[in-house]
Structure 1
Amino acid sequence: MTRRIDAATLKKMIKDGKELALLDVREDGQFGEGHLLLTVPAPYSMLEARLDTLLPRRDVRTVLVDDGDGVAERAAARMAAVGFTDVTILDGGVGAWAKAGYVIFKGVNVPSKAFGEVVEHAAHTPSVSADELNAMFEKGEDLVVVDGRTPEEYKRMSIPNGISVPNAELVYRIHDIAPSPDTTVVVNCAGRTRSIIGAQTLRNAGIPNKVVALRAGTMGWRLAGFELDHGASRKYPEVSAKGMTEAKARAEAMAKTFGVRKVGLGAIDRWRKETDRTLYVLDVRSAEEYAAGHLPGALHAPGGQLVQGTDNWVATRGARVALTDDTEIRAITAAHWLVQMGWDVHVLEGGIGKAATEKGTPARRVLGIDEIAVDEVAPAELATALRDGTAVAVDVDLSGHYGERRLPGAYWGIRPRLDRLVPKLPKGKRIVLYSEHETRARLAAPDLRALTDAPVAVLKGGREAWTKAGLPTEASPGVPPDAERIDFLFFVHDRHQGNEAAMREYLSWEEQLPQQVEADGDAAFKVVKV
């Protein structure tokens, strides 16, 4: 039986200085509505698909958190089955943590976003409002707007005249974007934190330009009544020789000021062989550069996003983190923030060079999936069985995908709550699970088999194969109802759909994070003032 601990014991573990992974195994919507500050989302519906990269060391001390509803027990059993040996459950889950008087946080990537807010308070990062930026445009001031988000986010919506320059690229490329020291640099994101981090990055680098963050980002621009661009493709230029020289000098100064340590390939190779310490090796360049060649075994973690959402890649507190790129510049840019967030981070000295022998983007490894024996049903066979009434289809993919295009008559279920679905299914029929690419369906099959005597199978090739075969799908507006969509966080989503009330709520949420972090006491932030 899996060990259990109470909230007070876990609070002590967080501060004991030893490696610790805190995984929240609830679904994304549940996690986003309230969680512990340092828990990393690892929803049970896709648990085995996240474990390999989140927890590279199988014997790392791990604590699972749920709603006290038994999901953590099932997750612990699956983790044991795929080789994890030190798994404990927080007794009573999130509710017990709150009952003990500890802070509960709403939202996603909270440690990183809270850190951005703390930086603004500590560094007094200057900013301008949307009205002020618009006035600067109208006056024809010498300025450039750089968007520190991902290229995909930028393309979806952006400030007019803005250029896509993800935050980790800023020090590397700003000298070619704004070669004159008289040019004001305005950094924006969708809300607050990446604007703040991007602007403060350039200030930390000591560039001579005036640098400001756009307060409230694209949301603030929209709330002020201004129009956003959609589908823009403006992008940073290639780095010139002069720009490279300047960027290297700035990055080197940052490394010294902020205590960024460098290591060689030999050290990284030795660390990889150690069995008592976790190591994350991350490549912080663009997706295209990573695919063209990277250090074998390194994961792609674009530097701006790594700072913005560290918990997407690193789950073990106290682990080593090694950042790689080709020039050190982008690795130092990301590392100088991770150091201040409390991570033990190092930069590969001299860049990857000829060691970039692995190409492409590795396929995600789903632990234990090959050992799950389950019957497969081809799309045409399932279509016939559905017409004949001998089978029932169950969609275990994201609720939003189900609502957009489900198989005719299909039910929707989610892995942690299949026990609620089984009583609703017609008796005497074969149950065929499906998801877009099979993975979710295969992972859910053993859970379903434990709940019913009916034969269970999966749709071969998933919904993708069904669609390619020209078979029909149908929409199901309002189904499942919002109350059942535990995989979807409305709080984050609605602000991107033009919901102004949701925008204001989100911006207010970001601004109050420093007070929550201070009350919680578990963050290890140490902002260096320059």
Structure 2
Amino acid sequence: MLRQRDDWALFDVREPVEAERGHIASATSLPRRRIELRIEALVRDRGTPIVLVDDDSGRASLAARTLAGLGYRKVSWLQGGVAAWQAAGHRLATGNNVPSKRFGEQAYHDYSIPDVAADTLAAWQREGRDVKLFDVRTPEEYAEACIPGAASGPSFDIARHAGDLQQHDGPVVVHCAGRTRSLIAAQTLRELGVKQAVALRNGTMGWHLAGLQVERGAARALGTPSAASVAQGIHGSLRLAEAAGVGVVDATMLAIWLRQADNLYVFDVRQVDAYMAGHIPGAQAVPGGQVVQRADDFIAVRGARIVLVDDDGTRARLTAVWLRRMGFPNVLVLSGGIAAWRAAGGMLESGRVRRAPAGWLAARAGVRLVTAQDVEAQVLQQPGLVVLDVDTSAHFRHGHLPGALWVPRGWLEARIAALVPDLTTPVLVTCATGVQGVYAGGALGALGYRAVMVLDGGTASWRRAGYRLETAELPPQDDILLPPYARGEQAMRDYLAWETDLVRP
């Protein structure tokens, strides 16, 4: 079945750190607590076959019940979980975003993408060599930590500058935190004529491990490309898109697809500020490099239509090229971009529109909501009251109601009986915003708890009312997966060794 995975979805419903330790290679990570928030973006067609995987802890069957309640008609789970998969002779993959990172390493070898070591780049800088240096990650990552002297050249935005960079006599070096995004960016520039483009081997992690200091708080931008460079980027991306078999869809047809229930992914690959200024309703803000870097996070049904949107088409086409090279069969670009959408009478949304989670109105109507003021004045006075916080460990550490117990929502059914054995005990459910609390409150009601209340608006409403929150110390938990550069030098070494070992020449 995995060999024909274009028309169905495979989800690992464990927490991210659990999945990182070992998962079925093509699974999309969808922790149980995130199902209602993400499922409609990942699987629009409720007739799509869905298979769920866990560690035989019961979470997959509970997740299947949730999905069935949301109208998904073909949901099953792997009996025995990942252990059964291994017992059947199959291997598990470790790490995260494995398909994209394996592809990046394969591209490194197949295209013979040149890279430069941190020590070499540092020597060039000391010598005063004329190096153009760009950080191709998101602007937020760039500002947090970049190679000294780098300008922010996020995603495929840098491709619009390829014509200008061709005129540069020295090296053009691109970097990310590790490998994948810089390798893809370097090869893209080279195919657009910047033959002196190279990747910084192992990115900021390799730089740090070489004993060199990163720069924090940088604010250098790409600047404005020349008209000739923009035109060259357009023509070059058209050439590459045609060779890769990228399709084209017009605005009228895209509007029809958006009204239908078929599986469809529409990604606006511009930077987030442009998306916020005006985007097609239903489009997700995912700058192009992020789509390639994290394809398994955003695309659960490989055979679904994938439509890329931007302004002049360059970034959309280049994103599409790399998705096609990754093996996605049905990748298209909106002809004429945002301007064509508007010319066809399409409306634009501004800001980052937060649509209600799946099943939200029914879930909210099915629980007893209480305000922060009610909790402070009355609820906390109830004898035997148990306060539960069902959000992430990071949220619980940073601020929860006084006396609250942490029970992550994904484990709620498995752990609640030990904490609250009496079904008549009054229970107040809290979380950060009220969303997880509502769904958890419904789950407790389904288990037979008869005195369940949910803090409306979560701890955010409690804080706004001026009430005190407590903090807590917790050991590392499985629900928060920190990047390797936030886990220390050994984690960086282990990660880079893992990534380079994904493909052996």
CA spacing shift, 1:455–1:274, aligned 2, 3 Å: closer
2:187 aligned partner: 200
Does the CA contact (< 8 Å) of 1:422 and 1:451 recur in 2?
A: no
Q: Cα offset for 1:162? A: 0.7
Counterpart of 1:383 (choices 367, 376, 380) is 376
2:416 is the counterpart of 1:430: no
Deviation digits for residues 304-345 of structure 1, max 9, x if unmatched? 100100122211021111111111100011011000111120
Paired position in structure 1 for 2:409: 415
**1:133 paired residue number:** 121
Structure-2-length-normalised TM-score: 0.93
1:221 CA displacement: 0.7
Q: Is the 8 A contact 1:128 1:214 kept in 2?
A: yes
- 1:420 maps to a residue whose letter is R
Evaluate the alpha carbon distance shift between residue 25 and residue 197 of structure 1 in structure 2; reply closer, same or farther with a 3 A threshold: same
Q: Which residue of 2 aligns with 1:148?
A: 136
Distance 1:150 1:389, change over 3 A: farther
Instruction: List per-residue Cα deviations over 1:469-503 (Å, max 9, x = no partner).
Output: 1211122113xx44xx23123xx445325x11111
1:27-426 maps to which residues of 2 (within 5 A)?
27-176=15-164, 178=165, 180-207=167-194, 209-272=195-258, 277-343=262-328, 344-356=330-342, 357-360=347-350, 361-372=352-363, 373-384=366-377, 385-386=379-380, 389-418=383-412, 419-425=414-420
Report the CA distance between 1:386 and its aligned residue. 2.9
Cα shift readout 1:442-492 (whole Å, capped 9, x = no counterpart):
1111222233534111111111111111211122113xx44xx23123xx4
Letter in 1 for 2:117: S
Indicate how the Cα distance of structure 1 residues 288 and 18 shifts in structure 2: closer, same or farther if over 3 A, else same.
closer
Secondary structure of 1:352's partner? helix
Q: Contact 2:31–2:410 (CA<8 Å) still a contact in 1?
A: no
Question: Does 2:479 correspond to 1:487?
Answer: yes
Instruction: Give the CA deviation at 1:382.
Output: 1.9
The two structures, once aligned, show a CA RMSD in angstroms of 2.0
Q: How does 1:411-490 map to 2 (within 5 A)?
A: 411-418=405-412, 419-425=414-420, 429-478=425-474, 481-482=475-476, 485-489=477-481
Q: Higher RCO, 1 or 2 (CA under 8 Å, sep at least 6)?
A: 1
Q: Is the 8 A contact 2:54 2:60 kept in 1?
A: yes
Q: Deviations over 1:169-188 (max 9, x none)?
A: 12123445x36231311111
- Kept in 2, the 8 Å contact 1:171–1:250? The answer is no
1:301 & 1:433 partners in 2: Cα distance? 33
More deviation, 292-301/51-60: 292-301
1:269 offset after TM fit, Å? Answer: 4.0
Q: Tell me the secondary structure at the aligned position of residue 312 of structure 2.
A: coil
Distance change >3 Å, CA 30–CA 166, structure 1 → 2? same
CA contact (8 A) 2:382 2:426 kept: no
**What amino acid maps onto 1:394 in structure 2?**
L
Question: Which stretches in structure 2 are left out of the alignment for 5+ residues?
Answer: none
Q: Is the 8 A contact 1:52 1:365 kept in 2?
A: no
Deviations 1:98-150 (A, max 9, x none): 11121211222111111111110111111111100000101111111111111
Structure-1-length-normalised TM-score: 0.89
CA shift at 1:514, angstroms?
A: 2.5
Q: Is the 8 Å Cα contact of residues 147 and 189 (structure 1) preserved in structure 2?
A: yes
**Stretches of structure 1 lacking an aligned partner (at least 5 in a row):** 1-12, 519-530
Q: Note if contact 1:205-1:253 (Cα within 8 Å) is conserved in structure 2.
A: no
Assess if the C-alpha contact under 8 Å between 1:283 and 1:302 holds in 2.
Answer: yes
Change (3 A) 1:378 1:246: same
Q: Supply the distance in 2 between the matched residues of 1:31 and 1:17 (Cα, whole angstroms).
A: 20
Kept in 2, the 8 Å contact 1:173–1:237? The answer is no
- In the alignment of these two chains, the number of paired residues is 494
